């Protein structure tokens, strides 16, 4: 959807896929230095990976098919007629159209979301979530999307009316403050609707993390723990927020499955995102890609409307009935630019890995942490190239384990890339 941007805004430690069941006890803390081998993927992980790829293709086709059907069958025009009669004023017409359209798509999507988000996760032992929690989260997500749409959906349509030739540029520029706003409120207003957040429970570990944060130049009040175990068995940590709301969040699952040294390396990675400003860099890149995708919409929509306007039931892009057309074209353009966005993201993740290694200098903990992530989250260490280009926001786990083994400039007195960020203790 148009708000796809907000989903990418948290940078996590771990990986792209979700989640595993069988858990191994956290290895005992020590100061070992040997090389860690990249484990072979389990048959279950391979099955999860392959079926996930099929599901990704099905999901993409589905996301193009449903709005296309609403468009070509004239359903969109009929929703618009209803919204116009009921809403009377332009703003309310847009809002009512958006509500009806979003609810219809939500209902049609239920079988796929239920399978993907609930059945499949349980089948692979990645989740103990109750059906009630799943359903509540789905409805909450729908309501959040509706509120966001009602508040902001009129902007592109106003711009389409006022500037039919440059609307794509102005909409893309207007998206920047919108994305910043979403990034700002997400950790304080949106995320707590889904899970409970609080200070860290393990005070000894918290003290270690705070002293690491101090060395990275981050105020300690910015570390949170979230009760994610009610949703998933997967492990993760992430950086979210912007300015005053920027913070590092640890899932309680990662605290249960990694040892102290491994958690400190993961935190070093997150602190890397934090101090290297990856969130605002991502926002800038995303905005540029949104403008490019909207330009593609602008260049193709007019031709399609001229050709199919009788079936569509509208003849101007500024007619709100065009929403499914804009979404379909935007999704297609997004698929084209996705490999660029992911390549940049993988670069940030690699730099965050480097930051984590430089600040902790604990190669063994880093490598074994990634091994645990692979096992716990049903990862495959070396996915195919198509997967990497279109789906991987992180370097492959195989590459991350290799890098964790090999990167040790401090042992030969080489300069560190991020040394200037570290405060002397
Ligand atoms: Zn990361």
Mean pLDDT to the nearest integer, 244-254: 92
Least Cα distance to 279 among 233, 246, 244 occurs for 246
What is residue 11's predicted lDDT score, i.e. its pLDDT? 66
What is the Å distance from ligand 1's center to 238 Cα? Answer: 7
- Quick one: 346 exposed, middle or buried, by C-beta within 10 A (0-12, 13-18, 19+)? middle
What is residue 231's predicted lDDT score, i.e. its pLDDT? 96
Match 């230095």 to its residue by tokens.
Answer: 33
What is residue 32's predicted lDDT score, i.e. its pLDDT? 76
Q: Which residues contact 62 (CB under 8 A, 6 or more apart)?
A: 109, 112
Over pLDDT 70: what percentage of the chain? 92
Q: How many CA atoms lie within 13 A of 210 on its CB side?
A: 13
What is the Å distance from ligand 1's center to 236 Cα? Answer: 10
Phi, psi at 250, each rounded to 5°: -105, 130
What is the Å distance from ligand 1's center to 345 Cα? Answer: 9
| pLDDT tens profile 195-228 | 999 999 999 999 999 999 999 988 877 899 999 9
pLDDT over 90 at 113, yes or no: yes
pLDDT over 80 at 285, yes or no: yes
What is the Å distance from ligand 1's center to 350 Cα? Answer: 8
| pLDDT tens profile 16-75 | 433 333 334 444 555 677 899 999 999 999 999 999 999 999 999 999 999 999 999 999
| pLDDT tens profile 392-415 | 999 999 999 999 999 999 999 999
Of 225, 270, 358, 376, the catalytic one is 270
What is the Å distance from ligand 1's center to 319 Cα? Answer: 41
What is residue 16's predicted lDDT score, i.e. its pLDDT? 44
What is residue 7's predicted lDDT score, i.e. its pLDDT? 36
Higher per-residue confidence, 183 vs 9? 183
What is the Å distance from ligand 1's center to 55 Cα? Answer: 25
Residue 254 pLDDT class (50, 70, 90 cuts): very high
What is residue 4's predicted lDDT score, i.e. its pLDDT? 38
| pLDDT tens profile 345-384 | 999 999 999 999 999 999 999 999 999 999 999 999 999 9
What is the Å distance from ligand 1's center to 208 Cα? Answer: 20
Angle between helices 323-360 and 278-312 (to 10 degrees): 160
What's the DSSP call for residue 115? Answer: I
What is residue 24's predicted lDDT score, i.e. its pLDDT? 44
For the question of residue 376 being annotated catalytic, the response is no
Over pLDDT 90: what percentage of the chain? 85
Predicted TM-score of the model (pTM): 0.90
| pLDDT tens profile 122-162 | 999 999 999 999 999 999 999 999 999 999 999 999 999 99
What is residue 30's predicted lDDT score, i.e. its pLDDT? 56
Helix (H) or strand (E) holding 346: helix 323-360
What is residue 13's predicted lDDT score, i.e. its pLDDT? 64
Contacts 24+ apart (CB under 8 A), 334-342: 334/4, 334/289, 334/293, 335/60, 335/390, 336/296, 337/289, 337/292, 337/293, 338/389, 338/390, 339/389, 339/390, 340/289, 341/8, 341/285, 341/286, 341/289, 342/388, 342/389, 342/390, 342/391, 342/392, 342/393
Residue 246 pLDDT class (50, 70, 90 cuts): confident
Mean pLDDT of the chain: 91
Least Cα distance to 182 among 133, 124, 242, 92 occurs for 242
Residue 425 pLDDT class (50, 70, 90 cuts): low
What is the Å distance from ligand 1's center to 271 Cα? Answer: 9
What is the Å distance from ligand 1's center to 210 Cα? Answer: 19
Q: Which two tokens stand for residue 136?
A: 């509540």
């Amino acid at each position: 959807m148009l708000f796809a941007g907000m989903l990418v805004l948290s940078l996590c430690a771990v990986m792209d896929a979700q989640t595993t069941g069988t858990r191994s006890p956290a290895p005992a803390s020590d100061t070992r230095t040997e090389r860690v081998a990249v484990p072979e993927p389990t048959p279950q992980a391979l099955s999860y990976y392959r079926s996930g790829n099929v599901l990704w293709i099905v999901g993409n086709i589905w996301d193009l098919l449903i709005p296309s059907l609403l468009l070509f069958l004239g359903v969109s025009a009929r929703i618009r007629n209803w919204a116009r009669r009921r809403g009377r004023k332009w703003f309310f017409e847009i809002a009512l159209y958006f509500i009806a359209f979003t609810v219809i798509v939500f209902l049609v999507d239920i079988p796929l979301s239920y399978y993907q988000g609930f059945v499949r996760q349980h089948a692979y032992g990645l989740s103990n979530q109750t059906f009630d929690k799943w359903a509540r989260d789905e409805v909450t997500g729908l309501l959040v999307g509706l509120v966001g749409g009602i508040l902001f959906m009129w902007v592109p349509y106003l711009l389409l009316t006022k500037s039919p030739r440059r609307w794509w540029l102005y909409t893309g520029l207007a998206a920047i403050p919108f994305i910043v706003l979403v990034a700002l409120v997400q950790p304080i207003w949106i995320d707590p609707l889904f899970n409970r957040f609080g200070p860290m429970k393990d005070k000894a570990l918290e003290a270690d993390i705070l002293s690491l944060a101090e060395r990275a130049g981050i105020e300690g009040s910015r570390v949170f723990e979230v009760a994610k175990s009610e949703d998933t068995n997967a492990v993760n940590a992430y950086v979210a927020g912007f300015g005053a709301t920027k913070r590092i969040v640890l899932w309680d699952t990662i605290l249960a499955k990694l040892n102290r040294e491994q958690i400190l390396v993961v935190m070093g990675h997150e602190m890397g995102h934090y101090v290297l400003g990856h969130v605002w860099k991502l926002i800038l890149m995303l905005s540029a890609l949104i403008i490019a995708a909207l330009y593609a919409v602008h260049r193709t929509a007019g031709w399609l409307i001229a050709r199919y306007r009788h079936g569509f039931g509208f003849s101007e892009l500024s007619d709100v009935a065009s929403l499914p057309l804009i979404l379909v074209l935007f999704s297609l353009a997004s698929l084209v630019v996705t490999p660029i966005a992911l390549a940049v993201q993988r670069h940030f993740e690699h730099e965050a890995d480097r930051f984590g290694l430089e600040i902790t200098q604990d190669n063994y903990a880093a490598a074994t942490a990634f091994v645990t992530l692979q096992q716990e989250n049903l990862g495959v260490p070396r996915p195919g190239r198509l997967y990497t280009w279109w789906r991987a926001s992180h370097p492959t786990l195989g590459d991350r384990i290799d890098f964790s083994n090999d990167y040790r400039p401090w042992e030969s007195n080489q300069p560190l890339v991020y040394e200037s960020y570290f405060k002397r203790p």
